[in-house]
Amino acid sequence: MKFFTGVEFSFGYNVSIDDDTIVHRFVLLDDRGTITIGKGASISDYANVYSHWHELVDPRNVHLGDTVIGDFARVAYHATVLSGTKVGEWAMVGTFGLVTKDLDDYNVAIGMPAHAKRLKPDAPDAVAARHPELKR
């Protein structure tokens, strides 16, 4: 596991990080709920990973989520992963992407909110069969 400078944790004890993970400069890991980061994952500069949210009507009501970054997933520069979502294994969130719902394995998602636009070229056939609308 490799951490660059300026990584910030909200608490520091509700996060689980597997081997060979890289967390780049000025990343926020908001571990008020739980965050799990899988083996070989990469979180790029200025990305934010959240694990709590506030109710719309009464923001004093806080909900804790379980946020997961899968094995070998990549969260690119300035991207945000919201509480309770999962970025699948080998998936990628593009620069400035905003993850508001789960992202399946090998999916490449971009935008605000992030939507899968393609599959990685090495996606297994079983994953491609689940996403016939996405090109490899």
pLDDT (tens place) for every residue of the chain, 136 residues total: 889 999 999 998 999 999 999 999 999 999 999 999 999 999 999 999 999 999 999 999 999 999 999 999 999 999 999 999 999 999 999 999 999 999 999 999 999 999 999 999 999 999 999 999 999 9
pTM beyond 0.75: the answer is: yes
Q: Which of 24, 122, 107 is nearest to 73 (CA)?
A: 107
Q: Name residue 34's amino acid.
A: T
Report domain extents, the chain: 2-130
How many whole angstroms separate alpha carbon 127 and alpha carbon 75? Answer: 20
pLDDT at 1: 81
92-31-53 Cα angle (round to 5): 85
How do beta strands 22-23 and 2-3 pair? Answer: parallel
Paired tokens of 13: 């004890």
Q: What CATH number labels 2-130?
A: 2.160.10.10
